[in-house]
Amino acid sequence: AAGVIQSPRHLIKEKRETATLKCYPIPRHDTVYWYQQGPGQDPQFLISFYEKMQSDKGSIPDRFSAQQFSDYHSELNMSSLELGDSALYFCASSISQGAADTQYFGPGTRLTVL
Amino acid sequence: AQKVTQAQTEISVVEKEDVTLDCVYETRDTTYYLFWYKQPPSGELVFLIRRNSFDEQNEISGRYSWNFQKSTSSFNFTITASQVVDSAVYFCALSPNFGNEKLTFGTGTRLTIIP
């Protein structure tokens, strides 16, 4: 079965650079979520989109922005990168069924900021 | 506010032993969903199970079983006859009973199965 695709899988950036992470949800899934997992920590919710509209926002820095496109893929844009942004970034997708939907996670993008 | 507590930070058991991972949650919602995810050393998050707050029936799936008790706000996970491949970090998570809602994760339990 098709899974959530994330690219790139690994990314190394310098401080103050920008990064773009991409997420391709499971076919027919209409909701995308982004989570950040620091080393040894649990995933923290950043932002979500339903039908291309932002549906919820967590503790996402103002330096980060995201959007969902007409084909339902999503991109997380990160600017002025800081050392503390080094983390595993997960994208998850779900299909809206009117109740809490099961979120299926991609393999993650490991971002290292030097 | 929602909160999930996994008091066991790390557990080690010898292969073939049974092991239970504890999860306690807090929520003001009357309806909600609980989840367990597995994160193996390779890093991905793998969905294991989802239960809603109205369904307290315990569930068994192969070597895995889950015990949901609303009275104690607990959703514990047991692995029977553990195997080395079960070594991973296990996260319990909570979501309100609405669509498109974020997951609140516990801090995870690192399970190591010793051959």
Look at residue A110 and tell me whether its pLDDT is greater than 90: yes
Check if A100 contacts B (Cβ < 8 Å).
Answer: yes
Mean pLDDT of chain B: 93
Tell me if B32 and A41 make a contact (CB, 8 A cut-off).
no
Contacts 24+ apart (CB under 8 A), A62-70: A66/A34, A68/A32
**Residue among A56, A98, A102 whose CB faces B47 most closely:** A102
CB contact under 8 A, B102 and A100: no
Distance CA A23, CA A33 (A): 9
pLDDT tens-place string over residues B26-52: 999 888 999 999 999 999 999 999 888
Residue A60 pLDDT level (bands cut at 50, 70, 90): very high
Per-residue DSSP letter, A85: G
Mark the ranges of chain B whose per-residue pLDDT is less than 50. none
Answer yes or no: do A105 and B44 touch at CB < 8 A.
yes
Question: Under 8 Å CB-to-CB from B103, ≥6 apart: which residues?
Answer: A33, A35, A43, A45, A103, B35, B93, B94, B95
Instruction: Determine contact: A95 vs chain B, CB below 8 A.
Output: no
